[in-house]
Chain A
Amino acid sequence: MYAELTRRSAWHDVLPTVLGYIGIGVAFGIVSRAAGLSILVTLATSTFVYAGSAQFVLVTMLVEHSPLLSIVLSVFLVNARMMLMSTTLSTYFKQEPLWKNILLGTFLTDESFALGMNKLNYTDRKLNFTWFNTVNLASYLTWIVGTALGAMLGSLITDPTKFGFGFAVTAMFIGLLYLQIISDKTISLKLQLTIILFVLILTYFGMAFIPGNLLILVVTLLGCALGVILKHAHN
């Protein structure tokens, strides 16, 4: 990752996440077609809902004839963590006009957020609109292209996880987490590792009683709270 925040460096930085996106996008296209939805509806979901894992929830619930309200609520819950991400991110774009903030929020994803947080460590803790918007749009296009490929391949491949692409996004989070740990000097290494261990334990035990939709949100809130407490206990 370079220090520049240009359109060019954005394309360079976003490349590894594109692989993950294509994989999951293709998987979504296949799953959606297998569930009986048309190519058009499959593409419309990726284009207008653009919600990664929540789209899998949406398709499953559509096919099960769930009521509209419960589909909307589930999709909202799966995506509720986005509020934390856009809150965190917005502090870096406060000087930009409102429309640019809205545009960045519109196309924000887990991946562009994680990439942006990593980028901060190389740019003296700065981000700009051009870089982030390019990362966002590249991810969006990749997601749609992936979905289209999957929707068309739909009948040929039944199990996309067989080719390892299902793991691509997880691998990306592992990579981004590691790069974040070694480059973020604002939190001590010991504290970071303590929180990650705590998150692991919380995820494990939390799975027994926290609904899957809420898990990430609850675990993240508790992990951050512990971070603040421990940081102050040390000082």
Chain B
Amino acid sequence: MPTIKFIFWTIFCTGLATWLTRITPFVLLKKFTLPPAVIEFLNFVPITIMAALWFQQIFIQQSGQLPAIDYLNLCASLPTVISAVISKNLLVIVVVGIISAAFFNIVL
């Protein structure tokens, strides 16, 4: 185990790095205005980032070759998507997701 001093510095430095990552755009864009082309680009951030965060979970990375399929997450995704279409309610979707994952964890 690393020394407590090393752990302290790790938490301090990584904390500072994540904080700066999050606030720098807010601080800079208070002074500068983004060109319309950039704003148009950023309009696509929500759907691409949410899709990417999801799809990353249905594959398992294997270095140097195509990923394997994470069948548990893939199977659990199906009832989750269906519940989204039917309910359009985030709480219902999350609960269905949790139950499906627990179910497929037993079955698969």
- Please give the residue numbers on chain A whose beta carbons come within 8 Å of chain B beta carbons, in ascending order: 15-17, 19-20, 23, 36-37, 41, 44-45, 48-51, 54, 58, 62-63, 65, 68, 71-72, 75-76, 79-91, 93-94, 98, 101-102, 104-106, 108, 110, 113-114, 117, 161-168, 170-182, 184, 186-187, 192, 195-196, 199-200, 203-205, 207-209, 212, 215-216, 219-220, 223-225, 227-228, 231
Contacts and interface: CB of A to CB of B under 8 A. Distances in A.
Nearest to B97: A171
Contacts of B46: 88, 113-114, 117, 180, 184
Contact of A162 (B49, B50, B105): B105
A49 B50 contact: no
A167 B43 contact: no
Contacts of B96: 171
Nearest to B16: A72
A13 to B, nearest CB: 8
B52 A223 contact: yes
B39 A91 contact: yes
B49 A180 contact: no
Interface of B: 1-2, 6-7, 9-15, 17-19, 21-27, 29-30, 33-34, 37, 39-57, 59, 61-62, 64-67, 72-73, 76-77, 80-81, 84-85, 88-91, 93-103, 105
Nearest 6 Cβ contacts at the A-B interface: A171-B97, A164-B102, A223-B48, A167-B101, A175-B93, A227-B44
B23 A106 contact: yes
B95 A19 contact: yes
A90 B76 contact: no
A227 to B, nearest CB: 4
